[in-house]
Structure 1
Amino acid sequence: MAKRSEYDARHLSVLEGLEAVRKRPGMYIGSTDSRGLMHCLWEIIDNSVDEALAGHASTISITLHPDDSVEVSDDGRGIPVDIEPRTGLSGLEVVFTKLHAGGKFGGGSYNAVGGLHGVGASVVNALSARLDAQVTRGGKVHQLSFRRGEPGVFSGSRPDPDAEFTPAVDGSPLDVIAKAKRGVTGTTIRYWSDRQIFTSDAVFNDVEIANRARQTAFLVPGLRITVRDERGAEPLEEVFQYDGGISEFAEHLSADASVTDIWRIQGHGKFTERIPVLAADGRSHMEDVERDCEVDIALRWGIGYETTVRSFVNIIATPKGGTHLTGFEQALLKSLRKTVESNARKLKAGSDKLEKDDVLAGLTAVVTVRIAEPQFDGQTKEILGTPAARQIVSKVVSKELETRLGSTKRGDKQQATAVLEKVVAEMKSRISARMHKETQRRKNALETSSMPAKLVECRSKGVAETELFIVEGDSALGTAKLARSSDFQALLPIRGKILNVQKASVADMLSNTECAALLQVIGAGSGRSFDLEAARYGKVVLMTDADVDGAHIRTLLLTLFFRYMRPMIEAGRVFAAVPPLHRVEVIHPGRKANEVKYTYSEAELNQLLARLEQDGLNYKEPIQRYKGLGEMDADQLSETTMDPQHRALRRIRVQDAEAAERVFDLLMGSVVAPRKDFIIEGSQALDRDRIDA
């Protein structure tokens, strides 16, 4: 029998003060990698933003120093430096050394804030090798330094976390280091993260910081945030300030052409919450408190099907949503369902009901609420848990949206009609895709009549090895029929330039003959309902002429794929054929047969001719220049462009979907001015010889 180990009170550990933070950092910041490092920075930044949110600060500066320290400065009121009566310590030391201490527990200094638990500053201090806090108040600049959460004094004139440190013995070593102009206030925090705590590869992400600064500037109109990175050879600085608030934010997030303008929904509601309240004697008791919840939402619909919704509580992002986002989505669906049902005959909606995905397709929205002491799930504040927020947001959105959708004003009425038509089109597309998935399987020879008549089908029934070539025009189709391998290569001709779907609505796209035929042939639906597993071909190859028109047609086709069949591109199943530009027949003396060489650019042709001249070889004149695929015979097209043994294909990939979407919008969108600027700027680098005139 195993000997039982002793376990009594002397085996219990009691962690005092900030020891618990250093012992279990993951409990407070989630992890000790780059994510945790960034979370510490957000805690300090959020304290400055709360000052701006309360109307006491207008500028915030964030600086990444070369020595791996970070500095956050604001022109707010400054952390209190007078003595806190219960502890006998200065307010500055209390904030940075005591967990659950601060001015955000209902004392009247703040209303709606992001920092709630009173642990942010003290946790950052505990996990820092050194932290210097400077506060400007009352015409003086006060400074207090800490090492791993302990107040004291560092030696030396230059800030260095490895400098000799003398811990404080009696009271706070709060130094007055300078005088300040009358009325000037603010707080500057500079800290060095403790490498004993964080992993060696944990670094500050400048892109993430810039995105967070931009987001905060949108959420607090008029706030100026400067981000400066001094870690590289040349300092980089960005300044963010937006006076339009979340309306500008929604416009910034929108990538596709608009169906509506930015709609702003604002309102508020009250609710009662039972919370513990500290009495004068220090004891707590439960008390009912009336809260106010302010709702501010900016939204718009675009022609696409991607959904971009950002939610915030007191300017703190809630990436996993919460009760406020649930209320918003419920009200959105309820209001649009009600309006569509009352206009079913006009919209030709039938008896089918809208679903959430139909309503969210193409939606860009910024949902913000402001609540005193909101309930979050955990210190990382990713999900709002305050139950009353759902009902209040739902009520505000329902009232404002129904008013907007039922408005008789000309502009509002046109936009409301456009939104209703869009969501009904999405509903019909979803239902059609579901029916297609249930009934449509790969057609055998007897069932091909349901496919477009112009489709030249292949014999193979296995999806993985099949290829669909989209060819430009009937002349190229005739040659391609002879050049293809009918076992696994199918052909679909298109007439000229298809619809520009970047500008068109979903309904226009579905009613366009060429677009509808392409969607039908691929057989996997479109937009949000696209099912990659249902695609009828393993590869789709865009085979267009090697000229300006061919490039334009290829771009239009890629726009269609990017907008409505993006999973095909993401899976690497869309390709562009690379037909040759020139055919050079090299003459060999004697009985040796002449050799044919193909080149794919003017530069490659010049290199080939130079090499032939160097080798003393001649070639037939004139050199054949292909202006279109129809000029090739079947053997040439097969050898250069269609035969897997010899051809070259260019795989189309989307490495950065957001960047790609911006390029598509620039090249194919309805706004002309940016495209004109792009053409003018790029005209200097254009080689005139490349223009096929």
Structure 2
Amino acid sequence: MAISSDYNARHLSVLEGLEAVRKRPGMYIGSTDSRGLMHCLWEIIDNSVDEALAGHGQSINVILHPDGSVEIHDDGRGIPVDIEPKTGLSGVEVVFTKLHAGGKFGGGSYTASGGLHGVGASVVNALSARLDVQVDRGGKTYGMQFRRGEPGRFKDSGKPKPDSVFEPFSDASVLDIVGKAKRGVTGTRVRYWADRQIFTPDAKFSYTELQARARQTSFLVPGLKITLRDERRLAGTPGEEGTFEEVFHHDGGISEFVDYLANDAAVTDIWRFHGSGTFKESVPVIDESGHSRITEVERVCDVDVALRWGIGYETTVRSFVNIISTPKGGTHQTGFEQALLKTFRKVIEANSRKLKVGSDKIEKDDVSAGLTAVLTVRLAEPQFEGQTKEILGTSAVRQIVSKVIEKSLGAQLNSTARGDKTQASMLLEKVVSEMKSRVSARVHKETQRRKNALETSSLPTKLADCRSTDVKRSELFIVEGDSALGTAKLARSSDFQALLPIRGKILNVQKASVADMLSNAECAAMIQVIGAGSGRSFDISAARYGKVVLMTDADVDGAHIRTLLLTLFFRYMRPMIEHGRVYAAVPPLHRIEVINAGSKANDMIYTYSEAEMHQVLGKLAAEGKRYKEPLQRYKGLGEMDADQLAETTMDPRHRTLRRVGLAQAESAERVFDLLMGSDVAPRKEFIIGGAERLERDRIDA
């Protein structure tokens, strides 16, 4: 930091703490890239959220300006403007220049807040080329400006800029009155320009992160309205074409958050558990003489949890302390996970005969499969591991959360109410099925993936396997029906192409439970043949085939069977789709036999749609060529001769395959749930809405 010639003791007293922040910014914000830049923004936004959380204020506006600055408005009480007796400075200056100072110490203003280190606003100020703050309070608007943490005044002519002429205060700071505020109107406005001497050149505010955080906060503080406005027009952002504004406002609590996060069909309703506990903590307290004394204080910890289980196997758990996200968990999440496992073990042990558990014990992964949960705890002065507040360290919270969950979840699972009893039964069956699936995967983990001459195969008898042990080269064709299997056996190259027939339409696994899926012969055979397990235990490196080709008839029933097969892969073997190893065969619809003159053999042309057929016939007519009539229309794969099937659908040199992709998992999840899920009404609306666009010619009569 440049020091002017008239730099005096007043400047030193203001900047003694902030200079340390500028020298070691990583200690306070984690890093000086985009992540650190966003952390600074969270510190200011969290201060506004804490006001709303305490019941003061209902709206927060965040504006990303084109000049790289960011502005945060709130309608809270406004930062205190009176003189703080110990320092002789206004409350505004104390908040923005003194580390570990603010309303969150001593328990006077905030009983539970996020920004508990008390360094947020002052750190942001120290790392800003310029920071302007305005406070509406008591019918007046107060203003103060800082350059790299130092209070003073900028001499702006027009728009505020960080490189405008700056005059630091030399004797005493002045909190200017810059306008009038309407009666009863209070709030704080902060606008700052991050210091490019500190942050890396490529550091920039992420609208996507800001959007996710705003949405998350609006769920956690019911009734709070958060407005985001992006004026930067950056490429690749929603505001690329012009100013983009979004409002987040949810009157529901964390139950609504769980409903938003969950993207699979439900096994249980959203369950909400509340509770609290007290603990004692020894903390240093500074007395009036300035000495620190260890004092024992009693704390209250409130626990609020919303959770539900779905038919999937992925786990989504979001944990928060005083609405601050703890992505790396901490004592509250540890207590939550321990209580889940303990409660389920207890209930399953009591129902072991009914559930046919055997001697195996369930593990954490069995319980958490398909779980979506939001866990929040509120307590005064939580201890975090590091300034970035990603891990809660207060040890007593673990036991409090654990007791609340054990009591509430135990009561829920043992409830005798009709609806609760049904859901609890389905959930326990799901957890036990997950355990059995995990145990089965472990048992088979060490077995060889390919049989050799000295071994017998435990694979399904109807599998016509290939000779090659090269996974990259091998292909598994899942064919519809035994008639197609017979033709396919003659058409395939047995060196690297394996065949597995399925009988008609398999189980719709979007609706079915894990237990039903595993007990279904067709589904179990496919999982066994592919050999990589299912669900969360799926290991793509153990897959026995490089390609899986779904070979179904080119009609409506074939399309339905293909959809059912894709549902199985999406729900239980998703990595196969993600790695591009699932394909749909494209069999022809018609065969046109072109008559050649003389002894020359006739040519065969295969077409794959009505439009292509008419196009080919038109071209033949224009060239004066004749063809045999009637044209052959293939109703199914079984109607083809082996050489025709090989040439059109199975031979890598001539065939057409359609690779099944997964561009966006969330949108795919919604489509599968719409088409294959238990809820009939949305599917009916989809079918009626799309009926007008249906080409009747594509339906087989």
> Do the structures match in fold with TM over 0.5?
yes
CA distance in 2, matches of 1:691, 1:238: 44
CA distance in 2, matches of 1:464, 1:238: 47
CA distance in 1, matches of 2:603, 2:165: 80
- Structure 1 residue aligned with 2:538: 530
| Secondary structure in structure 1 of the residue aligned to 2:129 | strand
Task: Give per-residue Cα distances to partners, 1:455-494, cap 9 Å, x unaligned.
Answer: 1122223333221100112222122111100111111111
Conserved in 2, the CA contact under 8 Å of 1:33 and 1:202? Answer: yes
- Identical positions, percent: 76
Q: TM-score w.r.t. structure 1 length?
A: 0.93
2:656 equivalent among 644, 648, 652: 648
- Structure 2 residue aligned with 1:4: none
2:513 counterpart of 1:505:
yes
Superposition map of 1:141-180 within 5 A: 141-154=141-154, 155-180=156-181
- Structure 2 residue aligned with 1:36: 36
CA shift for structure 1 position 143 = 1.8
CA distance in 2, matches of 1:448, 1:481: 22
Structure 1: gaps (5+ residues): 1-12
CA distance in 1, matches of 2:423, 2:166: 66
CA shift for structure 1 position 606 = 5.5
- Structure 2 residue aligned with 1:544: 552
Superposition map of 1:557-568 within 5 A: 557-568=565-576
- 1:630/1:79 Cα in 2 relative to 1: closer, same or farther (>3 Å)? same
- 1:467/1:284 Cα in 2 relative to 1: closer, same or farther (>3 Å)? same
CA distance in 2, matches of 1:139, 1:521: 76
| Secondary structure in structure 2 of the residue aligned to 1:104 | coil
CA shift for structure 1 position 287 = 0.6
CA distance in 1, matches of 2:672, 2:24: 47
- 1:173/1:553 Cα in 2 relative to 1: closer, same or farther (>3 Å)? farther
2:255 equivalent among 240, 247, 252: 247
CA distance in 2, matches of 1:64, 1:98: 26
- Structure 1 residue aligned with 2:464: 456
- 1:96/1:620 Cα in 2 relative to 1: closer, same or farther (>3 Å)? farther
User: What is the identity, as a one-letter code, of the residue corresponding to 2:65?
Assistant: H
Task: Give per-residue Cα distances to partners, 1:602-653, cap 9 Å, x unaligned.
Answer: 5555555566667666655555443432233222221222112222323323
- 1:123/1:583 Cα in 2 relative to 1: closer, same or farther (>3 Å)? farther
Task: Give per-residue Cα distances to partners, 1:101-144, cap 9 Å, x unaligned.
Answer: 21111241001111011111122222222222121111112222
Conserved in 2, the CA contact under 8 Å of 1:301 and 1:419? Answer: yes
Superposition map of 1:298-337 within 5 A: 298-337=306-345
- Structure 2 residue aligned with 1:205: 206
Conserved in 2, the CA contact under 8 Å of 1:582 and 1:600? Answer: yes
- 1:277/1:483 Cα in 2 relative to 1: closer, same or farther (>3 Å)? same
Conserved in 1, the CA contact under 8 Å of 2:607 and 2:613? Answer: yes
2:662 counterpart of 1:661:
no
- Structure 2 residue aligned with 1:110: 110
- Structure 2 residue aligned with 1:221: 222
Superposition map of 1:230-629 within 5 A: 230-231=231-232, 232=239, 233-439=241-447, 441-444=449-452, 450-585=458-593, 594-605=602-613, 608=616, 621-629=629-637
| Secondary structure in structure 2 of the residue aligned to 1:311 | strand
- Structure 1 residue aligned with 2:681: 673
User: What is the identity, as a one-letter code, of the residue corresponding to 1:312?
Assistant: F
| Secondary structure in structure 2 of the residue aligned to 1:93 | helix
CA distance in 2, matches of 1:679, 1:53: 45
Task: Give per-residue Cα distances to partners, 1:146-202, cap 9 Å, x unaligned.
Answer: 222222222123222333333233333422222122211111112222233222322
User: What is the identity, as a one-letter code, of the residue corresponding to 2:229?
Assistant: R
- 1:600/1:80 Cα in 2 relative to 1: closer, same or farther (>3 Å)? farther
| Secondary structure in structure 2 of the residue aligned to 1:450 | coil
CA shift for structure 1 position 310 = 0.8
Superposition map of 1:39-54 within 5 A: 39-54=39-54
User: What is the identity, as a one-letter code, of the residue corresponding to 1:213?
Assistant: A
Larger mean CA deviation between 144-153 and 185-194 belongs to 144-153
CA distance in 2, matches of 1:82, 1:274: 32
2:191 counterpart of 1:190:
yes
User: What is the identity, as a one-letter code, of the residue corresponding to 1:507?
Assistant: A
Larger mean CA deviation between 195-204 and 373-382 belongs to 195-204
User: What is the identity, as a one-letter code, of the residue corresponding to 1:400?
Assistant: S
User: What is the identity, as a one-letter code, of the residue corresponding to 1:37?
Assistant: L
Conserved in 2, the CA contact under 8 Å of 1:524 and 1:536? Answer: yes
Conserved in 1, the CA contact under 8 Å of 2:107 and 2:380? Answer: no
CA shift for structure 1 position 430 = 1.2
Conserved in 2, the CA contact under 8 Å of 1:153 and 1:173? Answer: no
Larger mean CA deviation between 387-396 and 654-663 belongs to 654-663
Conserved in 1, the CA contact under 8 Å of 2:595 and 2:628? Answer: yes
Task: Give per-residue Cα distances to partners, 1:484-529, cap 9 Å, x unaligned.
Answer: 0011111111122211111110111111121111112122221122
Larger mean CA deviation between 267-276 and 203-212 belongs to 203-212
| Secondary structure in structure 2 of the residue aligned to 1:647 | coil
Larger mean CA deviation between 471-480 and 652-661 belongs to 652-661
Task: Give per-residue Cα distances to partners, 1:353-400, cap 9 Å, x unaligned.
Answer: 111111111111111111111111111111111110111111111111
CA shift for structure 1 position 351 = 2.1
Larger mean CA deviation between 453-462 and 416-425 belongs to 453-462
